Amino acid sequence: MLKSIIWISSSLKDLKEFPKKVQREFGYALYQAQMNKKHHRTNPLKGFDGVMEIVSDYDKDTYRGIYTYKLGVNIYVLHAFKKKSKKFIKTPKEEIEVIKQRLKRAKEIAEGK
């Protein structure tokens, strides 16, 4: 049975603004997560337990999708963004703050609050 996907805040809207190729790659990666598998472009997000990062490169840009799979039976998509800085590999601090807030909201939803 596939896990359901819950989109937190603007994550779906943001993903729909990405190039179609990136959308397809993210869609397939999320489908793999629904089947308890790991897509080859998905890795754990450092500093978070059970939070994964999908990374897709397209036309000299990098796109990232963040989701968690450890909250009950659902996949919660927390964030989708285009990485702006080319200088650092690390996820920008402001994006980490968005992820923290949305993870908090996902936990509330999972707990029925």
Considering only the C-alpha atoms of the chain, give the largest distance between any 2 of them, rounded to a whole number of Å.
Answer: 41
Q: Where are the domains of the chain?
A: 5-110
Q: In the CATH hierarchy, which top-level class contains the domain 5-110? A: alpha beta
Contact 46, 13 (CB under 8 A): no
Please state, in angstroms and rounded to a whole number, the distance separating the CA atoms of residues 75 and 2.
10
Q: Exposed, middle or buried by CB within 10 Å (0-12, 13-18, 19+), for 75?
A: buried
Please state, in angstroms and rounded to a whole number, the distance separating the CA atoms of residues 33 and 39.
7
Two structure tokens written together for 99: 């992820």
Give the predicted TM-score (pTM) of the model. 0.91
Tell me: the pLDDT tens digits for 50-98?
999 999 999 989 999 999 998 988 999 999 999 876 655 677 889 999 9
| Residues belonging to the chain | 113
Calculate mean pLDDT across residues 10-19.
Answer: 97
